[in-house]
Chains A and B, each alone.
Chain A
Amino acid sequence: MKVAVVRFWGSNCDHDALEWAPRVLGLPSEEIWYEERELKGADLVVLPGGFSYGDYLRPGAMAARTPVMEAVIAHARRGGLVIGICNGFQVLCEVGLLPGALLRNQSLTFLHQEVILRCETTASPFTSGIGKGRLLRMPIAHGDGNYFADAATLNRLKDEDRVAFRYVDPAGELNPAYNPNGSLDAIAGILSEGRNVLGMMPHPERASEALLGSTDGAEILHSVMGSFQRA
């Protein structure tokens, strides 16, 4: 499996993302600059976190209109795997690979803290190895993570089992006190219609080594690897 990480001006989790596959899976990962039009044969493309283009206009709006995103869209339409983390999730919504949008946090403050996620579906390459209902600990670090979609879109996401992760309390229950940013229906991550694109606000790549306090983020990569080997 070939892994590539896209870098935009203002990406700041690109190095963490570049280390993710090497440290968890022992696989090399390539970096791809935003001006490129080819994905270097990547099977899994990671859009990293950060503040691409200074969040000008809207978070992810400028990155969504870069040349490399045309290649990412084509890759996704062919069924290729894409993970957008944090700013990467915002970019995926801006290009329309995922529905909805990420609004300013309800608190209006930048949030950097650990959250608890509940895995909501095993029907995706990213979560097939995790287990429905399993709780994962990983950090968030964002100012605009408040997931929003209109009622029809939300119903469709639920009907099609496309909510990948929700914010929950330590008992694994929905609890407004543990929904850090005010996201609609406590949504932390969603899947595309084809289930090959995942967007999530929390940072699995920052929770994939014991030294960092949690290895739960590595489960996503292990899942992808397992699915890739079965395919």
Chain B
Amino acid sequence: MKARIHVFLKEGVLDPQGKAVMNALRTLGFGEVQSVRQGKFFDVETDPIAPGEAEGRLREYCQKLLANPVIENYRVEVLEP
């Protein structure tokens, strides 16, 4: 299976990196930019997983390691079964 896992800061958690990126974009002339939030994604390839179980399994990856639940949320996406 191929999957993509997005991990991003929760709303309300300050993102100084995103803010610096926003300022840089504005400095470059993209004055319309009002907010940037920086996150990350993981492309994961696995052995075959039964379709009904895949998303739950990916969420476990996030809960156990990929995301810090204090500050981050996540979204999982199966790309190829």
Could you list which residues of chain A lie within 8 angstroms of chain B, going by C-beta atoms? Answer: 57-58, 61, 65, 93-94, 99-101, 103-108, 146, 148-150, 182
Contact = CB atoms under 8 A, between A and B. Distances in A.
B17 A93 contact: no
Per DSSP, are chain A's interface residues mostly helix, strand or loop, or mixed?
loop
Given A61-B65, A65-B65, A106 B70 contact: no
Contacts of B70: 93, 99-101, 148-150
Interface residues of B, number: 11
Interface of B: 12-14, 16-17, 20, 65-66, 68, 70-71
Contacts of B65: 57, 61, 65
B20 A101 contact: no
A148 B68 contact: no
Given A99-B70, A104-B17, A106-B16, 18 more contacts: A58-B68, A65-B65, A93-B70, A94-B68, A100-B70, A101-B70, A103-B13, A103-B14, A103-B16, A105-B16, A107-B16, A108-B16, A108-B17, A108-B20, A146-B14, A148-B70, A182-B14, A182-B16
B13 A148 contact: yes
Contacts of A148: 13-14, 70-71
A176 to B, nearest CB: 14
Contacts of A106: 14, 16
A105 B70 CA distance: 17
A101 B12 CA distance: 14
Contact of A101 (B17, B66, B71): B71
